[in-house]
Amino acid sequence: MKYVLVTGGVVSGLGKGVTASSIGVLLKACGLRVTSIKIDPYLNTDAGTMSPFEHGEVFVLDDGGEVKKLLSSAVPLLTFGQKKCWCHFQHHNHDSILLTAAFYVSPVMYFERRLDSLISPFYKGRELEIIVLIATDFELFLCLKVDLDLGNYERFLDTKLTRDNNITTGKIYQSVIDKERRGDYLGKTVQVVPHITDAIQEWIERVAMIPVDGKEGPADVCVIELGGTIGDIESMPFIEALGQFSYRVGPGNFCLIHVSLVPVLNVVGEQALDENVMEKLSQFCHVPAENIITLYDVSNIWHIPLLLRDQKAHEAILKGLNLTGVARKPALEEWTARAELCDMLHEPVKIAMVGKYTGLSDSYLSVIKALLHASVVCRRKLIIEWVPSSDLEDTTAKEAPDVYKAAWNLLKGADGVLVPGGFGDRGVQGKILAAKYARESRVPFLGICLGMQIAVIEFARSVLDLQDANSTEFDPETRSPCVIFMPEGSKTHMGGTMRLGSRRTYFHVTDCKSAKLYGNASFVDERHRHRYEVNPDMIAQLENAGLSFVGKDESGRRMEIVELPSHPYFIGVQFHPEFKSRPGKPSALFLGLIAAACSQLDIVLQKSGHVKKEAIRKTGMSNGPTIVKARQNGNADKPANGSLNGVHTNGNGVH
C-alpha cells in the first residue's frame, strides 16, 4: 500500500480537499486504484449534530456515517515564534496558493519557516525530494473550501466510502478509552504517545485496506487528508502519528503534499508566478526549481486534475512512490471533455433553491453539485436563485415588504423549484408556500426529505382542506398529523440516532416518472437521514385525493417517493439522492428536474433515465476526440454576481 498525505499550513480553507481529490483522479487515470481517508482533529465523534451554519452540510455515506467540512471565519494568517496573528478570512484576487509535495515530510521553510519546530516530528534527517505546486487562484480555492471533503472524494473518484474513512479525535480517544476500560493495556499508563499515536496508525492501515471501488482487494494508493492547519494544538497527535507512520511504511511508500499560502502583492487579477518567485521558493523551501508548478485561475474545479497532469505532477508523485513502471499515462479524455463542455454552456436553466440555510451555500453543497451534474448533461448553464424560505411568509410581507417581494420574484422567475432537507420549524411555512406555488403553477418541483414532507402537508391543507395538517415535529398536538416521528427514533439522544445510510426503496407503481428515470428498475438504493416520516394512516386519504406514493420501503408502510401524476414534474423523496450523484452520472431525480425545467423531460424518459454512450459522445463527454459545440443563446441572462465553479447564483448564499 502506498500513502499520500495532504496537509495544510498558514491559513485554513486553502483547498486541501479538492487537492486530495484531484490527485486521486490523476492517479486513478494512471490505472491505479485509489481510496481516501479524511482526518478531522475535532473532538466530535461525527458531524451529525453540527450546525449547518457553522460547518456546512452533513454528508451521509452508505453505511450511515456523517461527515462535514469544518469552516473557520477567523484563521491564523502568519505565525511568528509562539505568537499568532489572527484575521478574518477575506477574498483578495492577488493572493496565491502554495502546495508542497514531499516524499518524506520536511519542515516548510518559506512563509512557514517559523513553524519548523511544530512540524519537526516529520523531519528525521532523511534525504528529501520535494515538489512545490503553486496556484494563483485564491478565489477558486476560497470556493473550494466549502466543498465537503468526503463528498468531494466520492464525486471525483466515483467511490463509496465508509464511516471509518473519516477519522476524528473523538473516535480515536473513544476507541483508546474503550480499550483501557476493557483492560487491554494491562494496567499500563495510557498516554498520547504511544497509545493515541499507535491507534491513529492502526486505524489508517486498517481502513486503507477496505476496497471502496466495487472491486476485490485493497487499493494501490490511499490519499489521506489531515484537516486543520499545521501548528494547531488539536492536530499535534496526528502530526506525530503520521511522522511515525512514514517510517512504519518505509521509503518509497509515503508522500506528503502540503497546501500553503503565498501572498502575491501588487497584483490585480489572475497571474502566474514569475521565474524570480519560483527561484526564491526553490531556495527557501529547498525545492528544485523544476519541481515548482503553477496552478492558475480556472473556470471550474474539474480543470484542477488537468492542470496537475499538464505540469507532470503525477510523474513526480509516482517516482516518489516507486510506481513509475507500474502506472500508465493518465487517461483523462472524458474528464477533459466534461470540463470544457461546462465552460461552453450558455443557455440558462434557473432553479429556485428554497431553504432555511441559504445564507451559507455549503449547507446544500451536494445538492448544488447534483444540479450541476444534471445541467451539464442537459447542456444548460445552471443558475441557482437562493430563496430564503422565511422571506416568502406573510410575516415578512408585513415587516419587510421589499424583501418579501424580491423573494417571490425570484421564485416566480425560476424554471424549477427545489426544496432541500432541513430540521426545525423556522421557514417551514415559506417552504409550504413554495410547494403550493409549484403545484398550482405546474412548475417542476423536487422535494428532498423535509421537502417531501412539506409537499404532503401542503397537499393535505389545500386539497383535503385539512387546515391544521402538520408534522408533529412542528406541532406535536396537531389533529391532522401528516408527518410523524418514527417509532425507532430517539428523542433523548441526537447523534447517530436517525434513520441513516443506504436503504432500499421498492417501486409500487411502475408507470411513473421516478421509476422511468431510474431505468424502470424495480427498486433503488439511496441514502437517508431523517427522524420523521409520512403518516402511513393517512396514505389512503391522500392517494384518493390525487397523490401517488409510488415508492415505499420493504415493509410497504414507510413512504419513500411521492408523485403528483397530473403535474408535469412534481416529485418528493424521503431519501437524499444528491449524495450519490457523480460527474457524468447525475442523480436520476435531479436529471428529471433539470430536464423538466428546460423542456427535455420526454426525451430523458424515453431513454429510461440513462445517459447512453452515444448520448455521452454527442455531448462531448466521451473518451474520443469529439469536438464540443455549445448551444448559444444570445438572450441568456448574465447573472449580476458571477459564478461559483460553473454555477451562477443570485449571491445570497455565496461567501
Confidence of residue 298 (pLDDT cuts 50, 70, 90): confident
Show the beta-strand stretches assigned E in 553-651. Answer: 559-563, 570-573, 643-644, 647-649
- Lowest pLDDT segment from 103-107, 331-335, 586-590, 646-650: 103-107
Every domain of the chain and the residues it spans? 2-72+105-216+228-265+273-338, 345-608
Q: What is the pLDDT of residue 243?
A: 95
Residue 585 is classified by DSSP as B
Instruction: Lowest mean pLDDT of 184-188, 389-393, 629-633, name the range.
Output: 629-633
| pLDDT over 70 at 63, yes or no | no
Answer yes or no: pTM beyond 0.95: no
3-state secondary structure of 484: strand
Confidence of residue 481 (pLDDT cuts 50, 70, 90): very high
User: What is the four-CA torsion angle of 416, 417, 421, 425, rounded to 10 degrees?
Assistant: 180
Q: What is the pLDDT of residue 171?
A: 92
649-654 average pLDDT score: 45
pLDDT of 363 reads 78
Reference 341, options 628, 10, 627; nearest CA is 628
Strands (E) in 109-203, as ranges, are 130-135, 166-168
Q: Is the pLDDT of residue 74 over 50?
A: no
Question: Are 409 and 195 within 8 A, CB to CB?
Answer: no
Averaged pLDDT score across all residues of the chain: 78
What is the structure's pLDDT at 552? 93
Whether the per-residue pLDDT at 567 is higher than 80: the answer is yes
At 275 the pLDDT is 82
- CATH number belonging to domain 345-608: 3.40.50.880
- Residue range 82-128, pLDDT digits in tens: 333 222 222 333 333 333 322 222 333 323 332 233 233 333 333 32
**Residues 6 or more apart whose Cβ sits within 8 Å of residue 328:** 30, 31
**Confidence tier at 642 by pLDDT (50, 70, 90):** very low
Q: By mean pLDDT, which of 278-292, 447-461, 563-577, 616-630 is the weakest? A: 616-630
Query: Does residue 598 carry a catalytic annotation?
Result: no
Listed in sequence order, the residues at least 6 apart from 342 whose beta carbon sits closer than 8 Å to its beta carbon are 299, 300, 302, 372, 376, 646
- Residue 193 pLDDT > 70: yes
pLDDT at 648: 62
CB crowding 70-84: b at 16 or more within 10 Å, else e: bbbeebbbbbeeeee
User: Does residue 211 carry a pLDDT above 80?
Assistant: yes
Most confident of 130-144, 313-327, 620-634: 313-327
Q: What is the pLDDT of residue 500?
A: 79
According to the model, what pLDDT value does residue 455 have? Answer: 96
Q: How many residues does the chain have?
A: 655
Whether the pLDDT of residue 16 is over 50: the answer is yes
Reduced to 3 states (helix: H, G, I; strand: E, B; else coil), residue 388 is strand
| Amino acid (one-letter) located at 562 | V
Does residue 576 carry a catalytic annotation? yes
- How much of the chain exceeds pLDDT 90, in percent? 54
Nine cell digits for residue 653: 448564499
Task: Give the lowest-confidence range in 178-182, 349-353, 451-455, 492-496.
Answer: 492-496
Q: How far apart are the first and last CA of the chain?
A: 39
E strands in 516-604: 523-530, 532-534, 548-552, 559-563, 570-573
Please report, for residues 424, 478, 595, the alpha-carbon distance to residue 473 in angstroms, rounded to integers and kept in the order given: 7, 10, 33
- Give the type of residue at 389: S
In tens, the pLDDT along 324-343 reads: 989 999 999 999 999 999 99
pLDDT above 70 coverage of the chain, percent: 73
Give the mean pLDDT of 20-34.
Answer: 95
Phi/psi for 248 (5° steps) reads: -60, -40
- Record the cell numbers describing residue 370, joined without a space: 447534483
Reply yes or no on whether the pLDDT at 394 is more than 50: yes
pLDDT of 616 higher than 80? no
Cβ-Cβ contacts under 8 Å for 166 (sequence gap 6 or more): 37, 38, 40, 46, 65, 67, 150
The predicted structure's pLDDT at residue 268: 55
What are the residue ranges of helices labelled H in 383-534? 394-399, 401-412, 428-441, 450-462, 513-517
Q: The CATH number of 2-72+105-216+228-265+273-338 is which of 2.40.50.140, 3.40.50.150, 3.40.640.10, 3.40.50.300?
A: 3.40.50.300
Nearest to 17 by CA among 275, 289, 369, 371: 369
pLDDT band, residue 549 (cuts 50/70/90): very high
Residue 399 forms beta bridges with which residues?
none
Q: Are strands 2-8 and 221-226 parallel, antiparallel or unpaired?
A: parallel
Cα(306)–Cα(312) distance, integer angstroms = 10
Q: ∠ CA(236), CA(242), CA(244), 5° rounding?
A: 105
Kindly indicate the confidence band of residue 291, based on its pLDDT and cuts at 50, 70 and 90: confident
Is residue 640 pLDDT above 50, yes or no? no
**What does the block give as the cell for 574?**
424521503
Across the beta sheet with 480-485, the strand order is: 469-471, 480-485, 532-534
Confidence check: pLDDT of 454 > 50: yes
* Nearest in space to 509 (alpha carbons), one of 565, 453, 572: 565
Output the CA–CA distances (angstroms, integers) from residue 251 to 91, 103, 105, 200, 201, in the order listed.
39, 8, 11, 20, 16
Does 2-72+105-216+228-265+273-338 match 345-608 in CATH topology? yes
Catalytic residue among 512, 576, 598, 648: 576
As a whole number, mean pLDDT of residues 48-63 equals 56
The answer, yes or no, to whether residue 652 has pLDDT greater than 50, is no
CA–CA dist 441, 80 (Å, integer): 61
Asked if omega into 288 is within 30° of 0 (cis), the reply is no
Of 109-118, 171-180, 314-323, 583-592, the least confident: 109-118
Cβ contacts of 195-198, under 8 Å, gap ≥ 24: 196/172, 196/237, 196/241, 197/237, 197/240, 197/241, 197/244, 198/241
φ and ψ at 478, to 5 degrees? Answer: -60, 145
pLDDT of residue 421: 87
pLDDT higher than 50, residue 145: no
Q: In whole angstroms, what is the distance from residue 103 CA to residue 130 CA?
A: 6
Question: Considering Cα of 504, then 508, then 512, then 516, what sign does the dihedral take?
Answer: positive
Gyration radius of the chain's alpha carbons: 25
- Extract the runs of DSSP E, i.e. beta strands, from 9-111: 34-40, 59-60, 66-67, 74-80, 83-88, 95-102
At residue 224, does pLDDT exceed 60? Answer: yes
Nearest Cα to Cα of residue 433 among 400, 461, 468, 402: 461
Which residue has 473550501 as its cell numbers?
A: 145
590, 371 contact by CB (below 8 A): yes
Residue 449 annotated to the active site:
yes
For residues 560 and 505, the answer to whether their CB atoms sit within 8 Å is yes
- In the set 143, 222, 285, 449, the catalytic residue is 449
Q: If pLDDT is split at 50, 70 and 90, which confidence band does 614 have? A: very low
Q: What's the pLDDT at 493?
A: 47
